[in-house]
A = this chain, B = another copy of it.
Amino acid sequence: MAQQRRVHLCTQRPTSTVCVLGTELSLDVLGSAPKDAVAFHVQGTPGVKVYVVHETQSVKLPSSVCRWPLAASTEVLLTMEALSKDVGDEKVGAGRPGGSGPSLDDSELADVSLDADTSRSGSVGRTMMDKATWTWGPDGHGAILLVNCDRDDPKSRVMDNRDTAVRSYEDLKDMSQMVLRTRGPRTIFTGHRLVLHVDFGDADKVGVFYGGSECRHQGGGPRHQEESIFFVEGLSFPDASFSGLVSFHVTLLESPEKGLLEIPIFTDTVVFRVAPWIMTPNTLAPLEVFVCSVEDNEDFVAAVSAMAEEAKCPVTICPLPENRNDRWIQDEVEFGYVQAPHKTFPVVFDSPRDLGLKDFPVKSILGPDFGYVARDVLKDASSLDSFGNLEVSPPVTVGGKEYPLGRILIGSSFPRFGGRRMARAVRDFLFAQRVQAPVELYSDWLHVGHVDEFLSFIPAPDRKGFRLLLASPSACYQLFKEKQEQGFGEAAMFQGLQAVPKPTINEILANEVLRKFNSYVQNCISWNRDILKRELGLAEQDIIDIPQLFQGNEQARANAFFPDMVNMLVLGRHLGIPKPFGPLVAGQCCLEERVRALLEPLGLSCTFINDYFSYHVLFGDVHCGTNVRRKPFAFKWWRMVL
């Protein structure tokens, strides 16, 4: 239904008003008719289309009919299609048949329209589609805003959306255009006012900059034609109390007599959705590897760099002054991105964990076209707030429901008193992004408590395009048993590591405390396996069990017994796996051999990296000590069916 406006005619003098393109005027013929009138005539000049609504049927007024019965249900509607050349160039008269009556003498057609890139093409066109709604999916429509959370001016100390100035053309390019088009007789736009406004409560969600306007006056005449361009930036990501939708309105105000308030006569609305923050799974191509250079990890940094070079991926080394001897770059940040049809840029999510690397994200990652987001947490962050506990699966389909951007995985506590879990502010943020619906796993059984201690995803050429790797104590026991049966029971672990006890296969298999603890760990991981199969729609064949043992600390929480092989760095088909220092069988580490046998057939290249003293003894491994910025998905998030 077209926007309709009621116009009261005055019997004593002609009424003048503005008709906005695409709207209808409803004339109050009944209200302005004398009490005893039973019929009326109505006639308009050629630029005006007049309809009479009679018995709820809308009939275009034929010029031949000049007498209509005047009933309580009679309505006269008026539309105009050609823009007025001048004020008062179209008229409608009404009255008793044959007599004179109230008239609409000055009806001027103006065009007022607020437009944005509702078709998601990357530029703003004039659209007839429903601008006031926003829909998901391949046939969806609705404009998109980015949170302007990068820092295009390196001299600035804050994100671009924390200031109230446009500092550069680069800054503008992160914003979405919104175009206000006005056309019509010049006097309308001097005699009326236009107000651009957002809904109450959305003022802290968006920033708007005026980008200037282009005026055209045809032949010096009284026609006005103007396109005013506004640039819009998001100030906030979707969150628990913000859906991400923001409506902009432009309202045409009529100025009544002096001293009275202006009256709205037309509103146009366009709605934007703030783009969500999107995580990138291991299956996406790596663009940049991050590693910290600390006091004792020269070899590790060299090994990671060599592997990255093979994978043709640049390495960024965070130096000691910036990391203050904090090597856990995986835990400090998570790399993701934001995307709109006109612009895409990476955004680093800074975890509530604030140790040595605390200032690194803002000081060294935030920059031109590299955004930043963080969440304040109310109380001290727990270990489960580190982003080694925040992963994302590759794209999956679960019982017909598609997750083309995968699903976020976070580790949580099994509900019980005193369990650790991720801070609510972080969880709320992750859930509010919507496009990678999070799955909660159980990781609190681990000492450090991160999901990357028992799972990883690797690319695969077949099936769903990936495999889920799960740490598996039973696979390890099975392997060791096999080796024992083959006569290698005296093969010992941790060869070449100084001052580390070197248990043999026989000793490990005979250690009942260790076996019981690993049986318990296996059950914990199996519970997660069941959840992962259900929530990611995986079959057993999508999962590979990686032999791994754990040991309990004094609170019976689990730590990897030898370097945790699933805690790996994935750069395309290159895997950087913690060197497990397993029992040597015929000069070969039987753990490495088994992992190669499992992964190389998938076309993957395994590099075993020694992180024993530099990371493993500090309760982390290769994945914990690295981080990767990856290429965004080819799939556009707004095409998702939610």
Given A4-B534, A530-B3: A32 in contact with B478 (beta carbons within 8 A): yes
Contact code string A227-244 (vs B, CB < 8 Å = 1, else 0): 000000000000011000
Q: Does A539 contact B (CB under 8 A)?
A: yes
A8 touches B526 (CB 8 A): yes
- Residue in B closest to A543 when the chains form the complex, CB atoms: B6
Contact call B26/A540, Cβ cutoff below 8 A: yes
CA distance A34 to B427 in the complex (A): 43
CB neighbours of A31 from chain B (8 A): 472, 474-475, 478, 545
- Contact pattern, A 404-447, Cβ under 8 Å of B = 1, otherwise 0: 00000000101110000100100110000000000000101100
Q: Mark A468-481, 1 if CB is under 8 A from B, else 0.
A: 00001011001001
Q: Across the interface, do B257 and A520 meet the contact criterion of CB distance under 8 Å?
A: yes
Q: Which residue of B lies closest to A200 (CB)?
A: B421
Which residues of B have CB within 8 Å of A265? 523, 527
Chain B residue numbers with a CB within 8 Å of A75 are 540
Q: Which chain B positions have C-beta within 8 A of A415?
A: 195, 197, 200, 249, 251
Q: Say how far A367's CB is from chain B's closest CB, in angstroms.
A: 33
Separation of A475 and B72 alpha carbons in the complex (Å): 13
Task: Name A556's contact: one of B254, B259, B545 (CB within 8 Å).
Answer: B259
Determine if B195 and A416 form an interchain contact, defined as CB atoms under 8 angstroms apart. Answer: yes
Select the residue from A4, A6, A32, A533 with max chain B CB neighbours within 10 A: A6
Task: With a 10 A CB-CB cut-off, give which of A75, A241, A257, A523 has the most chain B CB atoms.
Answer: A523
Residue of B nearest to A7 (CB): B526
Q: Which residues of B have CB within 8 Å of A256?
A: 516, 519-520, 523
A526 and B264 contact, CB distance less than 8 A: no
User: For A241, what are the chain B residues with a Cβ–Cβ distance below 8 Å?
Assistant: 240-241
The majority secondary structure among interface residues of chain A is mixed
Which residues of chain B have C-beta atoms less than 8 A from A28's C-beta?
Answer: 474
Contacts of A46 in B (CB 8 A): none
Give the distance to chain B from A437, nearest Cβ to Cβ, in Å: 14
Chain B residues near A200: list those with CB within 8 A: 412, 415, 421, 424, 427
A526 partner residues in chain B, CB cutoff 8 A: 5-8
Question: B482 and A264: CB pair below 8 A?
Answer: no
Decide yes or no whether A260 CB sits under 8 A from chain B: yes
Is A541 engaged at the interface, CB distance under 8 Å to the other chain?
yes
Complexed CA–CA distance, A529 and B31 (Å): 14
Expressed in whole angstroms, the minimum distance between the Cβ of A474 and any Cβ of chain B is: 5
Q: Binary interface profile of A, 177-199, with partner B (CB < 8 Å = 1, else 0)?
A: 00000000000000000010100
Contact partners of A530 in chain B: CB under 8 A: 3-6
Inter-chain CA distance A475–B28, complex, in Å, is 10
User: In the complex, A424 Cα to B241 Cα: how many Å?
Assistant: 13
Q: Does A379 contact B (CB under 8 A)?
A: no
Q: Which of A246-261 contact B (CB under 8 A)?
A: 249, 251, 254, 256-257, 259-261
The answer to whether the Cβ of A302 comes within 8 Å of any Cβ in the partner chain is: no
Chain B: minimal CB distance from A127 (Å) = 20
Assembled-state Cα–Cα distance A6/B475 (Å)? 14
A412 to B249, CA, bound (A): 15
User: In the assembled complex, how far is the CB of residue A515 from the closest CB belonging to chain B, in whole angstroms?
Assistant: 9
Which one of B240, B261, B444 contacts A445 once the chains associate, using CB atoms below 8 Å?
B261
CA distance A73 to B544 in the complex (A): 11
Contact A414 B264 (CB under 8 A): yes
Q: Which of A75, A475, A517, A527 gathers the greatest number of chain B CB atoms within 10 Å?
A: A527
Q: Which residue of B lies closest to A523 (CB)?
A: B263
B534, A1: Cβ atoms closer than 8 Å:
yes
Residues 578-598 of chain A, each 1 if its beta carbon lies under 8 Å from chain B, else 0 = 000000000000000000000
Please give, as numbers and ranges, the residues of chain B lying within 8 Å of A472 by CB-CB distance: 31
- Asked whether any CB of chain B lies closer than 8 Å to the CB of A399, the reply is yes
- A510 to chain B: closest CB distance in Å? 12
Complex contact B3–A261 (CB within 8 A): no
> A1-15: which have CB < 8 Å to B?
1, 3-8, 10-11
Query: For window 577-630 of chain A, which residues contact chain B by CB distance below 8 Å?
Result: none
**A3 contacts which of B263, B445, B534 (Cβ < 8 Å)?**
B534
Residues of B within 8 A of A365 (CB): none
Q: A444 to chain B: which residues have CB within 8 Å?
A: 261
Contacts of A442 in B (CB 8 A): 264
Decide: B523 and A254 in contact? CB cutoff 8 A: yes
Task: Compute how far the CA of A257 lies from the CA of B517 in the bound complex, rounded to whole angstroms.
Answer: 8
Instruction: Tell whether A56 is near chain B: CB-to-CB under 8 Å.
Output: yes
Task: Give A36 to B3 CA distance when docked, in angstroms.
Answer: 77
Nearest chain B residue, comparing its CB with the CB of A23: B530
A4 CB contact (under 8 Å) in B34, B475, B482, B533: B533
Chain B residue nearest in CB terms to A34: B482
**CB closest residue in chain B, given A534:** B1
B424 touches A201 (CB 8 A): yes
B residues within 8 A CB of A363?
A: none
A124 within 8 A of partner (CB): no
**Which of these, B8, B254, B428, contacts A474 with CB under 8 Å?**
B8
With A31-B475, A399-B1, A424-B200 as contacts: A556 and B195 at CB distance below 8 Å: no
15 CB contacts below 8 A, A to B, read A3-B534, A35-B482, A56-B539, A200-B424, A200-B427, A201-B428, A249-B415, A256-B519, A260-B517, A260-B552, A261-B445, A261-B520, A263-B445, A263-B520, A263-B527
**Given A56-B541, A200-B415; 17 other pairs, CB 8 A cutoff:** A4-B533, A8-B474, A26-B540, A31-B475, A34-B482, A53-B540, A72-B541, A195-B416, A200-B427, A201-B427, A251-B414, A254-B523, A256-B519, A259-B556, A260-B552, A261-B556, A263-B520
